[in-house]
A and B are shown apart, each in its own frame.
Chain A
Amino acid sequence: MDFTVSVAARELGERFRRWIAENLPPEWTDIAAGSVGEAQYASMRRAWGQLLHRGGWSAPTWPTEYGGLGLTIDEQLVYLTELVNAGAPEPLNTNPIGVLGPCLMRYGSSRQRERILPGILSHELIGCQCFSEPDAGSDLANLRTRATKVDGGWIVNGQKVWTTNAQLADFCYALVRTEPGSQRRAGVSFVLIDMRAEGAAVRPLTNIAGSAEFNEVFFTDVFIADDDVVGDVGRGWDVAMYALSEERTTGIAQRALRLRRDLGNLEALHRASAPPLSNREAARWEAEFEQLGVETRAVEAAVYRNLALAAQGEDISILSPMAIYTWSAAHQRLRRIAMQRLGPSAIRSDGPSGDWNRSMLFARSATIAGGTTQIQLNNIAKGLGLPSSRS
């Protein structure tokens, strides 16, 4: 049992910290979602992705042969910690790098890798993930977007929804049904679609916080070539599940680290606020923050455990939803407490209040996106061996 990180990882962390200090423009740090316009926010994230790439600091999990950093699990943890501690934005292609990249390395053809991997690293190519559909959210296997075989390729028809960054994307990676009449997970393929192609249309959706990162995506007779299918035709479900499991360890690690930073920001706000609190009020807030501190530490401990076990090649299919479930509850609770602490001025849309109240609104996604709390609990229960409710 070892919860410390290696000397090599610590050294890497120091190098990365220095690089960030020299390269991350201060006006890009700690930008709360929704505090600037979507276009401005996206272009900042794109530019940060380009900077990281030029500096040789992108794709921590990718092997070096594909232009990644090939970091060990300790180094990945330190890498993420430095980014979070600096208040850095997420590169725009975080999802393509984290989810699509490993898929192409495992299931893709060498041509697909050459076409896509360098572009998403350098942020010359922006990608988006088209999995969910109006009738396939939690029940992803109910997806209906279909691809019909034609000479040299496929014709795609259907609708995707809740697609982040589709309005900016050059291409998407999508799950489509390639076998007519197939059910559930069978007959589904993982394909690459040119978002500029004729017949691909994007309609922005405004989310709960009033910003438009989500979209509906419509495919009407969009042609894709045979070479746009990743892995075997009809085996796309396995590709997608591999992609998502890859993302679940480091993705949650980064969110857990941000929870710590959020708590620090909340405590700073508490200390800086005027007028001074009565002893009784101060004691109440201290107790709230300390309890949040305990929950945050529990999330961190769970994340360290999951990272270590994943690196050891062990099964974390029950521990992974547990970490997400715990993180999402703490993430939301922290925002509620921040709003309470801000008092009546918490409702203002300007200044720090605006950041916190938008963040509280946006935090609803924590228990929905990437698997609702209810789905996470179902998966935990399944792992515990409880009887199926669908028999």
Chain B
Amino acid sequence: LQYGFTTDEGELIAHLGQLLSHYGTDSTDRATFDGDLWRTLASHGWIAALTATDDAISGSARVALGERFGRAHPALPWTVVLGRSGPLLAGLATMRAGTLLERVHAGEVITIAPDTPSSLCAEIGVDETVTITGQLELVPYAQDAAGILIAGEDRSEAFLAYVPNSSPGVHVTDVPTVELRHRYADLQLTDVVAELVAREDDDVRAALTAANDRYSLMLSAEALGGLSRLLDDTIRYVGERHQFGVPVGSFQAIKHLIAHVATTLENGRALTYLAASASGASSNVRQADDDVAAARNYTGRAYIDGCEQLIQAHGGFGFTWEAGLHTWYRNAMVNFQSALRGGQVEDQHSRANVWDLRPSAMPCSSAANRTGAEQWSAGREPS
């Protein structure tokens, strides 16, 4: 057993915190994509380092770096690109995946659909293309992206396709959400000819599973970072705010509430580091593949519960726009909902519940043959 980061890891974590330090709670209007900062991160090598599938940066250090992003909560696609699309491309050996990964490293945003609805139809062509028609909802940063990855299945052959945003037939609509920093868009795809990035023989399913674990850990890191930021702000506030002639933080009712939140934060942190550092390793301490899911469940709850408690500790102040507390609560609401295939944090007890990510788009021919009513019910069925 050993708990803590190496000197090198510690320096990396501090350096990233520095780069992101100008993000505060004060910016409360709906954010635009901070392209300058994203390209700065790219040019400093952060994106390449954090999307790599080797262990140059340990799993637990990746979580700690994710926490720095979570603390700052910048308007950047860090959870989806560093957690999911990047590691997915890095985990595939195809030429196209390699080319796209280089573009990600250079600071282009290549996002990925959170889920592939069963109503999307896709057909792999003979010329290494996939023709896709359908709608994708709430794709992170799609409006700021060069393109979007879509995992799907054509007659039970899994594939990963890349759709440049500029392709004919792609219509991107910005979607306001409860979140003020992270950005989302809906996509309408009409006979879009996408590039085939990888297919069944390229082990696309295994790469998806591995990337989804990374994504889950990044979301846990976001929860830990956001909660630790709000906790620090709250501890400062309750020491300054006086009522009845004493700091409100001296009342046990307030102290115990904050101590409880701090406990869930530290538990979640230990659990997430455990899940991240155990990835790929085997031992008798680590007992299950469920740790990644357990960490997601625990941190997702801890973040949203913690925000509610800490807003309470701020009293009515917490509800004013200027204080910015809602920035974290809104992020926690989104973080809590962020699971694949419509699953919620509450459902994430085991790997089986979370990462049963079978690409689920159906072939266009069968879609075309269905009646409208059949398509409607097919879209509603859990697949």
Contact = CB atoms under 8 A, between A and B. Distances in A.
A302 B1 contact: no
B237 to A, nearest CB: 11
Interface in A357-388: 374, 377-378, 380-381, 384-388
Interface string A8-41: 0010010000000000000000000000000000
Contacts of A110: none
Chain A, interface residues (CB within 8 Å), range: 35 or more
Interface stretch (A50-58, A188-196, A303-311): A303-311
Interface residues of B, number: 47
Contacts of A78: 284
A2 B2 contact: yes
Contact of B349 (A2, A294, A301): A294
B60 to A, nearest CB: 4
Interface string B260-281: 1011001110110110011001
A299 B239 CA distance: 30
B44 interface: no
Interface stretch (A149-157, A213-221, A273-281, A318-326): A318-326
B349 A293 contact: yes
A371 B58 CA distance: 37
Given A293-B290, A384-B262, A389-B255, A77 B285 contact: yes
A3 B235 contact: no
Which one of B268, B273, B294 has the greatest number of beta carbons of chain A within 10 Å? B294
A373 to B, nearest CB: 9
A140 to B, nearest CB: 19
Interface stretch (B96-104, B119-127, B246-254): B246-254
- Tell me the interface secondary structure of chain A in the complex: helix
A287 interface: yes
A307 B1 CA distance: 8
Contacts of B1: 2-5, 73-74, 77, 304, 307-308, 311
A386 B238 contact: yes
B374 to A, nearest CB: 27
A202 B290 CA distance: 50
B297 A387 contact: no
Nearest to A299: B267
A329 to B, nearest CB: 10
Which one of A78, A294, A308, A312 has the greatest number of beta carbons of chain B within 10 Å? A294
B271 A297 contact: yes
A326 B286 contact: no
B23 interface: no
Contacts of A378: 252, 255-256, 259
B223 interface: no
Interface in A73-125: 73-74, 77-78, 81
Contact of A326 (B61, B255, B263): B263
26 contacts: A2-B1, A2-B2, A3-B277, A3-B278, A3-B283, A3-B285, A3-B286, A5-B1, A13-B284, A74-B1, A77-B285, A78-B284, A293-B294, A294-B294, A294-B298, A301-B271, A301-B273, A308-B1, A312-B3, A319-B266, A374-B256, A378-B252, A386-B235, A386-B250, A386-B254, A387-B250
Interface of B: 1-5, 58-61, 235, 238-239, 246-247, 249-252, 254-256, 258-260, 262-263, 266-268, 270-271, 273-274, 277-278, 281, 283-286, 290-291, 294, 297-298, 349-350
